[in-house]
Structure 1
């Protein structure tokens, strides 16, 4: 079982979320990814990869009483890092391309576009740049489709053609489905329709409920029960030669509002900050010219005991984003503020009220946020 190294730059040579689709593609016989499997998956003619948004490994293990299907398979599973920062947009880039964030360029929830000097929300992609230019690397789905594998993505209708989908997950035929049962049915139909198939099924309610009610809530446990039942149903219905892989984009921690600092009340900290990017557990500060040292000093004096304030050069040199391409470096904050296990920072004047109110958060490097599962269910019948 592999484990993430909490609070340290990641070793990208080991298995991570970015390794999942290349490993599956290798087992499906996609030439571009020959030898890429790091999880000892069996060969298969068909595969379905289920990504459960927000289902961190530690949360799953802690609340596994709600999930008998997954609990039975935890001992043989893999515990790997999703990447940094631990946020959906970044993780989807890593998942879809098989590359670290420094290569695919989706380096946070909200980051700077240096060409326009404005923030881009890489999750909503509202008024965002051309996603194919922002993320020019080919995806695993494109390579699989080119190799003759029928690739299908099953998710909510508003994902079809979205900026994030185009940037990170292009190459799949899209099938819209609302409920989890409808998505399972759509995935099974797509698998049965082709002799060589790769289906990607996304489910986001675990993350949504965790944000609103907390990942320690009874509501979170009930949603995990629903997911587990659906996965058991999926396993019963897929063709015998189908490989099933279950993973997640990040975990989550509950941060009480008493443990948060609102930057609207901290004018000294905002002095010299041109743009406030990132999210409450991992802020990215874009400073006025010549102000980076002063801003770093002010932040270290005020919150240095509860967060690490790192210069862009440090996170790049230490490999927090993996190897960073030149076109990507300017998107990373001049300063990156990485919160400790029980702290968050918001700005109620700049952030949406919905974001400020959330109880469950992610973005930082605690094990609860960083570690995700890779659960492999082999085909009932080998190739």
Structure 2
């Protein structure tokens, strides 16, 4: 497979969304700085609500707009950006919360190496992970907004409160727990009405979950989109006149048949010289034993052929896949980065949970299905 093209970060990415909303609310780019327009130059508002729908890729949404009348009606206020690489939730949340690209914030995959401990950990569950604020020390835009005097409320499931991923990427302001989507919409409306200047963030994850389990083209996925669209319409209708609404996503998704995947457990040659495997089925980080990189690269290239790109860390960095990579984050990237093409995936039944092996929908690589996310902005009726 030819070397992959990097995401077009310069034309706009998920990292631009929250800074742009904050700019529209009067939050400066740095403390004491003058007012600025933000990367997306959104119209001014006094209050803002941001909804992130996990897994609602721009291409999947485009094919199902007939099932989403409220979103369809906002087409003139919709644009498409890239999520970033890898196109996965943990990385995207880092980009969204900090307003920086993956190589800068350093949250570089579903499972990544903590070099200080020579241990791979899961950046979603954060089980046995490092101190979140040390792993990702950059100031988040929720912290910036709170410091600028806005009432900041983040709404999601209760177990998100204080979790490693939340503390690393989304800390700042107050957390409010709510379970169902209608309950979260009610909590968002209550929060935005309770303050004259505020930023409210609402997360919803069922679109992603159903896409993984049933596939992003499934009836189940479509039914969930319909439910989300109805609740977004209720949210928009209930907002104060001086409040804006922004809807986005963290990544898209691709249907990946089990027949097209490779199981590392069935290919002993792929484990020779390998210290750790990380990443996820669409983008794998391969961490090699000392001096084994060339041999491991040759073995993986021979087995995978043109189904995936097998590149060394320096090649992936030079290609700009992660954006600009901070020196302290380079060792978190695999000695080899394996990026799947087509609908190909790499799994490892020797270490992956059966639930993960059973999934039908995947993301993490560089296809437009995975990378492209919508940004729907409904400006305030009065500034």
Q: TM-score range by the shorter chain?
A: over 0.9
Q: Is the 8 A contact 2:244 2:379 kept in 1?
A: yes
TM-score (norm 2): 0.97
Q: Is the 8 A contact 1:92 1:168 kept in 2?
A: yes
Aligned to 1:180: 181
Aligned to 1:21: 18
Q: Say whether 1:234 aligns with 2:235.
A: yes
Deviations, residues 220-259 of structure 1 (Å, cap 9, x unaligned): 0000000000000000001111110000000001101101
Q: Is the 8 A contact 1:112 1:120 kept in 2?
A: yes
Q: Is the 8 A contact 2:8 2:82 kept in 1?
A: no
Flag structure 2 segments of 5+ consecutive residues without an equivalent.
Answer: none
Superposed counterparts of 1:5-16, under 5 Å:
7-16=4-13
Q: Is the 8 A contact 1:7 1:366 kept in 2?
A: no
> CA, structure 1 residues 172+7, in 2 after alignment: closer, same or farther (shift >3 Å)?
farther
Q: Distance between the aligned counterparts of 1:36 and 1:202, measured in 2?
A: 25
Q: Is the 8 A contact 2:9 2:82 kept in 1?
A: no
Q: Is the 8 A contact 2:7 2:366 kept in 1?
A: no
Task: Give the CA deviation at 1:11.
Answer: 3.5
SS in 1 for 2:10: coil
Q: Distance between the aligned counterparts of 1:277 and 1:36, measured in 2?
A: 38
Aligned to 1:308: 309
Q: Say whether 1:323 aligns with 2:320.
A: no
TM-score (norm 1): 0.97
Deviations, residues 159-187 of structure 1 (Å, cap 9, x unaligned): 00000000000112000000000000000
Task: Give the CA deviation at 1:13.
Answer: 2.8
Q: Distance between the aligned counterparts of 1:7 and 1:207, measured in 2?
A: 25
Task: Give the CA deviation at 1:58.
Answer: 0.3
Task: Give the CA deviation at 1:72.
Answer: 1.6
SS in 1 for 2:74: helix
Aligned to 2:141: 140
Task: Give the CA deviation at 1:75.
Answer: 4.0
Q: Say whether 1:218 aligns with 2:219.
A: yes
Aligned to 1:96: 97
Deviations, residues 176-210 of structure 1 (Å, cap 9, x unaligned): 00000000000000000000010000000000000
Aligned to 2:194: 193
Superposed counterparts of 1:253-272, under 5 Å:
253-272=254-273
SS in 2 for 1:32: coil
Superposed counterparts of 1:1-383, under 5 Å:
7-32=4-29, 34-381=35-382, 383=383
Task: Give the CA deviation at 1:39.
Answer: 2.4
Task: Give the CA deviation at 1:37.
Answer: 2.2
Task: Give the CA deviation at 1:7.
Answer: 4.5
Q: Distance between the aligned counterparts of 2:173 and 2:104, measured in 1?
A: 21
Q: Is the 8 A contact 2:244 2:378 kept in 1?
A: yes
Task: Give the CA deviation at 1:355.
Answer: 0.8
Aligned to 1:3: none
Q: Is the 8 A contact 1:86 1:364 kept in 2?
A: yes
Deviations, residues 113-143 of structure 1 (Å, cap 9, x unaligned): 1110010110100011000000011000001
Flag structure 1 segments of 5+ consecutive residues without an equivalent.
Answer: 1-5
Task: Give the CA deviation at 1:38.
Answer: 2.7
SS in 2 for 1:305: helix
Task: Give the CA deviation at 1:36.
Answer: 4.9
